[in-house]
């Protein structure tokens, strides 16, 4: 299974009054991580969108294990788990600087044509990624 490591740094605006990262931002972190993984493996979300595809999230699941703080560097390991019909299954593990697992997530993305927003055959670029 193909995996890739992305690092992000927590922004001030991503914290909330509890003093930690607001839980909605992990959704954004995983979005960044998956497209950086795609880019690293040879294509990109932008390139694929330019070819007429969109990749809406159809389900997501997050486990919050430890909080992240402002200015923390977080390493995100993205796993391209499975491509099945017009669906991509991805998994994420987020680690802090002490190498502690702080978050686990799963997202399922649909592959759709922009012209009709309907599920479609995955483009070759995506097939390749999942076969690596």
Task: Kindly tell me which of 117 and 128 has the beta carbon lying closer to a second copy.
Answer: 117
Write out the residues near a second copy by the rule CB under 8 A: 11-13, 15-20, 22-25, 27-28, 31-32, 35, 44-46, 49, 54, 56-64, 67, 70-71
Least Cβ distance, residue 118 to a second copy (angstroms): 13
Rg from Cα positions in the chain: 15
Q: Which helix (H) or strand (E) holds 84?
A: strand 73-84
Separation between Cα atoms, residue 70 and residue 13, nearest integer Å? 9
- Report the candidate in 47, 51, 126 with the shortest Cα–Cα distance to residue 89: 126
Task: Kindly tell me which of 54 and 130 has the beta carbon lying closer to a second copy.
Answer: 54
Is there a catalytic annotation at residue 50? no
Least Cβ distance, residue 68 to a second copy (angstroms): 12
């Amino acid at each position: 299974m193909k995996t890739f490591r992305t690092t992000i740094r927590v922004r001030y605006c991503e914290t909330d009054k509890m003093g930690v990262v607001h839980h909605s931002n992990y959704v954004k972190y995983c979005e960044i991580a998956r497209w950086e993984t795609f880019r690293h493996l040879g294509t990109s979300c932008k390139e694929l969108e330019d070819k007429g595809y969109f990749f809406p999230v159809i389900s997501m699941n997050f486990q919050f294990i430890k909080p992240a703080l402002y200015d923390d560097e977080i390493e995100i390991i993205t796993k391209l788990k499975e491509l099945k019909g017009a669906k991509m299954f991805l998994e994420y593990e987020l680690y802090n600087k002490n190498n502690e697992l702080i978050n686990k997530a799963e997202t399922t993305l649909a592959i759709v044509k922009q012209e009709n927003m309907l599920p479609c055959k995955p483009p070759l670029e995506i097939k390749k990624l999942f076969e690596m």
